[in-house]
Amino acid sequence: MTQVKDLNKKRVCDLSDDRKTVYIRRGDCVTEVRAEKDGTLSVKCKKEPQAS
């Protein structure tokens, strides 16, 4: 995975190695945005415990 940072050098999201999935973490919620083969986007949200 590759970290994506904004102009303030803050981590915004992670990009998968195949560059088809973006993971956005805000608190304990992780949003996964995936590019499908037919050109559509699928979005899934899930709760995960925060790493300490």
**Helix (H, G, I), strand (E, B), or coil: what is residue 39?**
coil
pLDDT higher than threshold 90 for residue 39: yes
Cut 0.85: pTM above it: no
Distance CA 47, CA 36 (A): 23
pLDDT band at residue 31 using 50, 70 and 90 as cut-offs: very high
Where residue 52 falls among pLDDT bands split at 50, 70, 90? Answer: low
Give residue 49's pLDDT: 81
Label residues 5-43 b or e (16+ Cβ within 10 Å = b). Answer: eeeeeeeebeeeeeeeebeeeeeeeeeeeeeeeeeeeee
- In terms of DSSP bridges, do strands 11-15 and 2-5 run parallel, antiparallel, or are they unpaired? antiparallel
